[in-house]
Amino acid sequence: QDGTCNGLQHYAALARDYSGAFAVNLIPSPMPQDVYTAVSKVVDARVRKDAEQGVSEALKYLSRSGRVDRKLVKQTVMTSVYGVTNVGARQQIEARLEERGWDNEDEVYRVSSYLSKATLSSIGELFRNAEAVMRWLASCASAVASTGKPVEWRSPLGFPISQPYYETKLAPVDSSLQKFWVQKPSTVVAKRSQRTAFPPNYIHSLDSAHMMMTAMECKAQGVAFAGVHDCFWTHAATADAVGAILRDTFVQLHSRPLLEELVENMKQVAPGITLPPIPPKGQLDLRMVQKSPYFFS
């Protein structure tokens, strides 16, 4: 049983983001929702509106491709939860255009730049509360790193985590054959890396906790379990049991004040630090996950 873009599932639960939760199957639905299709529809509508207003990149894309489809945005949606940058998103969409026969470098660059911004903006529109949490996590990491300390916290299961990102210096080494450079580690934290890496790392600490909580409950109930990231296995006869367990443990995990606990962790790392306020949450009732057939499927 696989999660639906599991990182976004955790963001939607953290933020109690109802619209985002629906897109990633946290809410019961008669048919499975596909977040990539949902984003592609939002982007397509935006591109068509821009084309009506004469935006050249929108006109160029529609004249050659007709519509924004699922495949065009899928990689960017998948990696948005891991902090993909504007440059990374542009390169991803650039690759999709080249696969479709676009070969004019200037056109590819301009259209992919336009589409990548539209895609990232559309994800934020669909996951408005969740995006606010993502920005808040990055801001908290910046605040900690500004004190000269790495970001550290404990997973919901108490596992200590530290981001080992430090600045490096290049030192020249002369040999009889050539001159080369080696990296020398330092104790100066890499502030940019601390900021950009923290949101995905924090989400990974949640999905790993969810997997371990599921594994421990399966063991307690005598049910076979194996898992990698957001893909859980068991025997056919116990599939329904594991499905119920993983839903219950997800609700149990996100019923905790996770962001408040994170704030306390950070204040222990950097006493006296001032952190931005936790973003307001949406209206999602987490208990709906327990009745959602396509949450993990």
d(CA 17, CA 125) in angstroms, rounded, equals 11
Pick the catalytic residue: 17, 44, 74, 207? 74
Cα 22 to Cα 54, 72, 280, 285, distances in angstroms: 33, 22, 19, 11
d(CA 86, CA 90) in angstroms, rounded, equals 6
**Kind and range of the H or E element at 263?**
helix 258-269
Q: Is 124 left (phi over 0), alpha (psi -120 to 50) or beta?
A: alpha
The residue assigned the tokens 């050659």 is 64
**Kind and range of the H or E element at 77?**
helix 70-80
DSSP 277: P
Assess contact for 156 and 209: CB atoms under 8 A: yes
**Kind and range of the H or E element at 186?**
strand 179-189
Concerning whether 50 is annotated as a catalytic residue, the answer is no
Pick the catalytic residue: 44, 50, 207, 230? 230
d(CA 128, CA 133) in angstroms, rounded, equals 9
Helix then strand then coil, in percent of the chain rounded to 5, is 60, 10, 30
Concerning whether 74 is annotated as a catalytic residue, the answer is yes
Pick the catalytic residue: 2, 71, 285, 291? 2
- The two counts, helices (H) then strands (E), for the chain are 11, 6
Closest to 3 (Cα-Cα) out of 250, 226, 236: 250
d(CA 140, CA 131) in angstroms, rounded, equals 14
Concerning whether 69 is annotated as a catalytic residue, the answer is no
Active site residues: 2, 74, 230
